[in-house]
Amino acid sequence: MSLLELHDVTSGYGYGPDILNGVTLTVETGRSYCIIGPNGAGKSTLLKTVAGLLRPRQGQILFDGSAIGGTRPDLVLATGVCYVPQDRSLFPEMSVKENLVMGAFLERDKAVIAERMDRVFQMFPVLQNRLHQRAGTMSGGEQQMLALGRALMVEPRLLMIDEPSLGLAPQVADQIFEIIGSLADLDITLLLVEQNVLSGLACTDWAFLLDLGELRIEAPSDQILDDPRIRELYLGRQKETSRPSAPDGEGET
Amino acid sequence: MTHLVQVVILGLLLGGVYALMASGLTLMFGVMRIVNLAHGVFIIAACYVAFYLFQGPGWDPFVSLLVTVPLFFLIGIVVYAALFPRIEGSPRFTEMTVLLTFAIALIAEGALAYFFTGTFRTTDPPYKTDAILIGDFFIPTAQFYAAITSIVLLLGLWAFLYFTRTGYAVRATMQNRTAAQIVGVNVRRVSTIAFGIGMALAGASGSLISFLFPFFPARHWQWIAILLALIVLGGLGSLKGAVVGALVLAVLAGIVSDQLGPTWSPMTFFGALFLILLIRPQGLFGHQARVG
């Protein structure tokens, strides 16, 4: 069953040019997807457009059958679509606990919030130890865990994560990928954007390859990993961009 | 020494009222990145409300808070909803707000001068010239009441921000607008409420300074200049900074006025502004601005 459908979606920033050029794709319930492609391909733009942070200039976005394209971000979230941006977008002056509570902002039942928080602590025990630490003072890996934990407080049906490994030491990144791989057990459909293509493909079922704002290839992740032509064309760049300082073209605007 | 303590006490009393004025201004910048140059003119407008309530039905300026606070909250909601969403998507939003609020300030000043003339006004509650003596120190009653009221209102603001759901949403939006959106905060609604609260604080300040400082429409330029200096010193968008900046500068201005004469007192604010921009441009409690 399809959970998210994009039909001919075009999108971009402000008065700037189109970054996403008529993308049509379908995300099936329960699967995990990795969106790969070179810098400026429109990967982050796609996630932001689905999340409601950008308004599609053209085309339709359906989540669970209802149109969400151009809807306010808080209303998109209420349907069960949660987005974790590249810069993690934590509340730096708030404690770990306050950040998690903010994650469940749309949930008013305190008991439900406490229950969700317990579940987050089971996945990320380190957060429980840092309950009263200010988010802005944590390490990159801990901040990413908090960002993921905060997203899980929503109990999303679709979780979109943008570049979770950005700026993390390799061992820490591996830990994050392991956790992301385990999200499938929670009945969460996953849409992952990752520059670290090999790790991204390894923890997902399916892949979309975007280039210049268009969907080029759609295939099972392991098939992409094994395809010599794709490896050469797109994954070859892996070496020079494996530790990107700042992605150009699509920044964290 | 006793004399210096006396000067500091007077400075702190005034600083409380400055803090109230500055907190509204810094809240607007913190939540919405609006530099509200019209903040001073709305304070003066509230002075007139307090003045006519005093002249007409004879309401004490403190009772006039019951009118100015809700009235200016509503004006804030209307002004925000009518004007700001139009420039919301602009990549130069903050610069646009400077122009927009400058225009509002000019128009409002003109309207005030037209209806209420340019005559100096002040409310004259009976305790205006009273003083309380504590030991060797003398505390002007009116300033004491005004400072206490400011503290109560600021505590109310603090309680709202830290203990209510909407308050959490306001703080979240101040710290990271995108993050607030992605956890489900309706930032348009929060912005409207925050602007209304900022204006309510301007309204409250108007009631209080109506008997502390004589006013006339064009007086607001002097206030906004001082308030901007206070919030830049504290760090734009930081409430703690606005309060600390207000107290520090009010005391400093008092000392300067006492030592060098009252003519030099306004210089304190701009001298401090100049220094802080040289030494620590993000202000005492501010963060390095993120461009974009």
Give pLDDT < 50 ranges for chain B: 290-292
- The partner residue sitting opposite B175, judged by closest CB among A51, A94, A105, is A94
Q: Which residues of A14-35 are buried (b: 16+ CB within 10 A; e: fewer)?
A: eeeeebbbbbebebeeeebbbb
Test A90 with B171 for CB contact under 8 angstroms.
no
Q: Which of B163, B165, B182, B186 would best serve as a mutation to test chain A binding (most A beta carbons within 10 A)? A: B182
CA nearest to A89 within chain B: B179
- The partner residue sitting opposite A253, judged by closest CB among B181, B184, B292, is B292
What ranges in chain B are assigned the alpha helix state H?
2-32, 39-55, 65-83, 93-116, 141-163, 165-175, 177-182, 187-209, 220-234, 239-260, 265-279
Q: What is the pLDDT of residue A235?
A: 61
Q: What is the pLDDT of residues B126-172, one digit of tens each?
A: 998 899 988 888 899 999 999 999 999 999 999 999 999 999 999 99
A77 contacts on B by Cβ (under 8 Å):
182-184
The stretch A207-217 carries a mean pLDDT of 91
Is the CB of residue A51 less than 8 Å away from at least one CB of chain B? yes
CA nearest to B238 within chain A: A93
Q: Which of A74, A98, A100 would best serve as a mutation to test chain B binding (most B beta carbons within 10 A)? A: A74
Is the CB of residue A140 less than 8 Å away from at least one CB of chain B? no
Q: What is the pLDDT of residues A15-27, one digit of tens each?
A: 889 999 999 999 9
**Calpha distance A79→A95 (Å, rounded):** 27
**Calpha distance B172→A100 (Å, rounded):** 12
Q: What is the DSSP letter of A174?
A: H
Chain A and chain B share a number of CB contacts under 8 A equal to 66
Q: Which residues of A177-190 are buried (b: 16+ CB within 10 A; e: fewer)?
A: bebbeebbeeebbb
Q: What is the pLDDT of residue A227?
A: 83
Tokens at A239, concatenated: 């070496």
Instruction: Evaluate whether A198 touches A225 at the Cβ level (below 8 Å).
Output: yes
A7 backbone dihedrals φ, ψ, rounded to 5°? -115, 110
A82 contacts on B by Cβ (under 8 Å):
182
Instruction: Evaluate whether A213 touches A19 at the Cβ level (below 8 Å).
Output: yes
Structure ipTM: 0.85
